[in-house]
Amino acid sequence: MNTPIHDFLTDYSSRSPVRAHMPGGKSTPFDITEISGADSLFESDGIIKQSEEIASSLFGSSKTLYSCGGSTLAIQTMLALAKANAPEKTRIAASRYCHKSLVSACILLDLDIDWIESDSFLSCKVTAQSAERAITDSTLCVFIQSIDYYGGECNIAAVSQVCKSRSVPLLADNAHGAYRVFTQNHPLLLGADLTADSAHKTLPCLTGGAYLHIGKAAPKIFSLKAKEMMSLFGSSSPSYLILDSLDLCNRHIALERNKAEKTMAKIAELKTDLAKIGYYLRESDPMRITVDAVEYGYSGFELCKKFEERNVFCEYADQKYVVMLFSTAQPLEDFPKILAAAEKIPQRQPVQSKKTYIPLPQRAMPLKKALFSPTEQIPVDEAEGRICGAITAPCPPCVPVIMPGELFSFEAAAALADWGVKAVKVVKESNKSKKQYY
């Protein structure tokens, strides 16, 4: 398997070179800058271009770009490309379940958002009908999330059909689904024009490594301007350690399909074993296990702590659920350890848990205007009725509960309090007159 970046770095470091170049740290041989032969990420015509072309062939894209800024950089680039494709349009239709990077990118690009509601908070399941209702003549693109933090999945194929019928590009945040290169339901195969994959979440890649894929039927301007748009937001000094790990990811994808499939089979087996013990599992995608903690007698935070006491550290917990997220390179010996830990946690009577219901907040001001308005910080329990002045998204899951420019509802403030948020930023001297609502 050809690994152009890794081969170059291996050869360079084997020569024990005098490193009269950046970076300042000299102890990590593969941590280099754009020296002779190393290519340049945003003007690639050498080893990086070769490696990206290999990734493109593995994923089935017309073009694949590497990101050293995670899916955040890929999402920023996708929206910039959509804007370049239709510069006269200023609005996007987007799933309300979204990463905060979507919101910040829209603010930077002066775009506003028409929200597509899903079936519940922290769910990415939007219907084709709700997506179509959000599309207008001013819609630049439709933006959806493929997998949510609980492992729920969006019907991308159905949404794609709507987008094609309305001649609007479909952008998919597949941050949690890079492993789908091993399955038949990667967003590219389901009709997405642009897709962001966080390699570092479910593939063996360093944190910050991600892909931006361009679909084969996407507007040609996407491929022509992709590097240019990515360079608007990305560092001019991308990490060669991350580029190396993306390069090696190609080898994993090409040569270790059996390992990935065995891992997914082990996750499915563990789900069955946990259910036999008495754990109630929420339906989730093949790379995670979502435990309904309250049905086992704990809050999600309590059950997560119980697992940590037995040396199992989970991806996410909230009042109701605990989420375990795995990689296609997960050591197989981890699965019996998780089962052994789960067996040692005593089952108790189910506990009461309140449902997190957050109605779509009323919009009082455009995103950008609210974010750049003077703000003040107030206790979260005093926020009801005030205009949000910041992207308010506890991490994880980094999904905004309320957006800049929206009015705090009682439910939004209460949800933030449940996540441990004590204070929020609101627009100073907010005008509560409904005549002023945006």
C-alpha torsion sign, points 41, 44, 47, 50: positive
Please state the separation of Cα 268 from the chain's center in Å.
23
Task: Give the residue among 148, 145, 114, 146 at the shortest CA–CA distance from 132.
Answer: 114
Q: Which long-range contacts (CB under 8 A, 24 or more apart) does 271-274 make?
A: 273/339, 274/339, 274/342
Residues 6+ apart with CB under 8 A from 332: 262, 263, 266
Q: DSSP readout, 90-113?
A: -EEEEESS--HHHHHHHHHTT-EE
Contact 154, 144 (CB under 8 A): yes
Phi (first) and psi of residue 282, to 5 degrees: -75, 145
**pLDDT of res. 359:** 84
- The token pair that represents 401 in the structure block: 């509960």
Contact 208, 72 (CB under 8 A): no
Residue 381, SS3 per DSSP: helix
CB atoms within 10 A of CB 410: 13
User: How confident is the chain (438 residues) per 10-residue block, as mean pLDDT?
Assistant: 96 96 94 97 97 98 98 98 97 96 96 92 93 97 97 97 98 98 96 98 98 98 98 97 98 97 98 98 97 97 98 96 98 98 97 79 94 96 95 87 94 87 88 46
d(CA 12, CA 35): 10
List the domains of the chain with CATH numbers: 4-255 (3.40.640.10), 257-343 (3.90.1150.150), 367-436 (3.90.100.10)
Three-state DSSP string of 176-232: CCHHHHHCCCCHHHHCCCEEEECHHHHCCCCCCCEEEEECCCCCHHHHHHHHHHHHH
d(CA 380, CA 28): 45
d(CA 181, CA 3): 18
**pLDDT of res. 352:** 85
What's the angle, vertex CA 210, arms to CA 103 and CA 50, rounded to 5? 135
Place of tokens 């794609």: 160
Task: Give the residue among 230, 294, 185 at the shortest CA–CA distance from 84.
Answer: 230
**pLDDT of res. 396:** 86
Which segments of 60-175 does DSSP mark as H helices, in order?
A: 70-85, 100-108, 128-134, 156-165
d(CA 288, CA 281): 11
User: Which strand (E) or helix (H) includes residue 425?
Assistant: strand 423-427
187 cis-preceded (ω within 30 degrees of 0): no
